[in-house]
Chains A and B, each alone.
Chain A
Amino acid sequence: MINAVWASMILCGIAFAVARGDAGMITATIFGQAANGLAAALNLLAIIAVWFGLSRIAERSGLLAGLARAIAPLLRPLFPELPKGHPAFSAMAMNLAANVLGLANAATPFGLQAMKQLQELNPRPDTATPAMITFLALNSACATILPATAIALRAQAGAADPNLIIVPAALSSGAAMVGVILIDRWLRAARRR
């Protein structure tokens, strides 16, 4: 799926550029975007290092376990196949908490950590497990109480009240979250049958 989307985007891009007689942009875009991607990746690398370091401290001090204990009861019914108290619960809980607060950069390292821990339980390492699918769906549709990016963009554009969208965005992301949880439950039930 991802391979097909990736290849289609590149082939469409090349076809359109050639059709417009602007083949020169292809080379420039490929290498320009490669450089942009490297810069973004290095920036992310620094953020990941900081958050893995901090989360290790929080882990050793028992703080992460405390937070996970608060959120885990909500996650447990969604991941019946995970052993009780598995470390992936803490990482997933931290990832979702960061998402709720709109801290996208902080959420990513915890999400990657959760995936690493879920992968350790995976009997077929090349294939996504039901737990991974549930987690990614939750992550993708996570309710947001602070849509920081959109608020900043609105303030920049001179909105009468930039914060006007907080409640509507929380409601619509909440609806998305409830929706994917229900669909995921249904898909898991259908798979068992």
Chain B
Amino acid sequence: MASIGAWILPALVALTILVAWRRGVPMYDEFVDGAAEGLRLGLRLIPLIIGIYIAIGLFRESGALDWLGRAAAPVLAHAGFPPEILPLMIIRPFSNAAAMGVIAELLAEHGPDSFIGLLASIMQGSSETTFYVATLYLGSAGVRRPLHTVHLCLLGDLIGYVAALWITSSLA
């Protein structure tokens, strides 16, 4: 399956350029124009990303994340989630890289084919770095009042988590 993923991107690039060539589009000129527009937009993202990284780093490195995990464990156990999974649920909406670290840790500790290992990898595959994406997308458009955007996105992640728990339970 990894090999399919590796071919999707080159195939898409080749197809794009071949179609453009056949239709007489000045490919390189258009590429440069588009890339320039992308860079102008991208420059506005740098401060947003730096801000998010600082908040995540302080929260994790100070031990606040661990504390929150211990505090919420009983609530989770009631819903049927193993408490070990909580750091992943908290971190996942904020940072993909940090979530990968949490999952690698869980897989090494409990085994990739254990209940916790399966649940963690299915949850990773079925959720999104919601705070990161919402901040980035709304910030890049210049929107300051997100209304209920984040709540709805988090609700989507929660539905994904519950479905993942349900499906993993029927697998194991």
Chain B 41-72 interface mask (CB, 8 Å, partner A; 1/0): 11101100111111111111111100100000
User: Nearest-CB distance from B115 to chain A (Å)?
Assistant: 12
Contact (A112, B140) CB under 8 Å given A20-B62, A45-B39, A179-B159? yes
Q: Interface SS of chain A: helix, strand, loop or mixed?
A: helix
A60 touches B9 (CB 8 A): no
Contact (A14, B58) CB under 8 Å given A49-B39, A115-B137, A133-B147? yes
Contact (A157, B8) CB under 8 Å given A132-B149, A184-B152? no
Contact (A141, B128) CB under 8 Å given A133-B149, A153-B104? yes
Number of chain A residues whose Cβ lies closer than 8 Å to a Cβ of chain B: 106
User: Nearest-CB distance from B133 to chain A (Å)?
Assistant: 6
If A154-B121, A173-B126 are given as contacts, then 5 extra A-B residue pairs at C-beta distance below 8 Å, sorted by A number, are A17-B58, A49-B42, A54-B13, A141-B157, A157-B108
Chain A 115-143 interface mask (CB, 8 Å, partner B; 1/0): 11011001001111000110011011110
A140 touches B16 (CB 8 A): no
Chain A 11-55 interface mask (CB, 8 Å, partner B; 1/0): 011111100101001100110111011101110110011111111
Question: What residues make up the interface of A, taking CB atoms closer than 8 Å to B?
Answer: 1-2, 5-6, 9-10, 12-17, 20, 22, 25-26, 29-30, 32-34, 36-38, 40-42, 44-45, 48-63, 101-104, 106, 108-109, 111-113, 115-116, 118-119, 122, 125-128, 132-133, 136-137, 139-142, 144, 146-160, 162-166, 168-169, 171-173, 175-177, 179-180, 183-184, 187
Closest to A143 in B: B126
Q: Does B74 contact A (CB under 8 A)?
A: no
Within 8 Å by CB of B62, from A16, A49, A169, lies A16
Which residues on A sit within 8 Å (CB–CB) of B16? 54, 57-58, 61, 63
B53 touches A173 (CB 8 A): no
A30 touches B2 (CB 8 A): no
A187 touches B152 (CB 8 A): yes
A139 touches B133 (CB 8 A): yes
User: Nearest-CB distance from A46 to chain B (Å)?
Assistant: 9
Question: Can you list 16 contacts pairing A with B, beta carbon distance less than 8 Å?
Answer: A6-B55, A37-B53, A41-B42, A41-B45, A41-B50, A57-B30, A136-B138, A136-B153, A144-B126, A159-B107, A162-B112, A164-B118, A165-B121, A166-B125, A172-B167, A180-B155
Q: Does B144 contact A (CB under 8 A)?
A: yes
